[in-house]
Amino acid sequence: MMYYGIRQNGYTIDIDSLTKDYDEKVKTAVKEVGKEMNIDEDWLNTDCAMLDGFLGELSEEINWTTAKYNFKNIDLKVADIKGLLRSKAKAVNDSGLVPRSTDKKDLLALLKSMDIKSIKNLDASKELDFIKKSYPRCYDYLKSIENW
């Protein structure tokens, strides 16, 4: 979301990685960066890679593109906005009665970036009908919001 300039506060506490495990050199480097930048040592988050069902279910729905930034030893890919929206809708849907507040905020920010600012706009969008069809608890959450 930061890559696209969508997140309102412009920062994140971690970066999601699709790598399940790193060798010791990489783990050490990640910890050193965390200490140097005064952030949590687990700022490179492998939780998504560990949740096989979570991203596995979405793998056909997310388009990954190479980021415009070049790094010597890092292959940085970013999910497309619609893929990010799918992952946030799924996170809100699957979280039960208490979704993480960041997921809810991110979901609304992504929708607004697509010019969807109300449940009426969402209902009118054929492109986003997957939210109502596939993520009913997420859709119910969105219906419950008066001011997006």
Q: What is the DSSP string of 99-127?
A: --HHHHHHHHHHHHHTT--SHHHHHH-ST
Contact of 134 with 125, CB cutoff 8 Å? no
Q: Which domain holds residue 106?
A: 15-143
Task: Note the pLDDT tens digit of each residue in 9-54.
Answer: 766 767 777 777 888 998 898 899 889 988 888 788 776 666 555 5
Q: Is residue 96 domain-resident? A: yes
**Domain membership flag for residue 148:** no
Contact 105, 3 (CB under 8 A): no
| CB-based contact 117:71 (threshold 8 Å) | no
Determine, yes or no, domain membership for 8: no
The 3-state secondary structure of 8-44, one letter per residue: CCCCCCCEECCCCCCCHHHHHHHHHHHHHHCCCCCCE
Task: Give the per-residue pLDDT at 112.
Answer: 95
Would residue 1 count as lying in a domain? Answer: no
Domain count, the chain: 1
Q: How many Cβ atoms from other residues are within 10 Å of residue 48's Cβ? A: 16
pLDDT (0 to 100) of residue 82: 94
Per-residue pLDDT at 80 exceeds 90: yes
**Mean pLDDT value of segment 117-132:** 96
64-74 pLDDT per residue, tens: 889 888 888 78
Any domain includes 5: no
| pLDDT score of 3 | 85
Q: What is the pTM of this model?
A: 0.79
Structural domain contains residue 2: no
Q: Which helix (H) or strand (E) holds 134?
A: helix 130-134
Give the model's pLDDT for residue 56. Answer: 64
Residue 6 lies in a domain: no
Q: How confident is the model at residue 141 (pLDDT cuts 50, 70, 90)?
A: very high
Q: How many CA atoms lie within 13 A of 30 on its CB side?
A: 19
- Model pLDDT, residue 19: 78
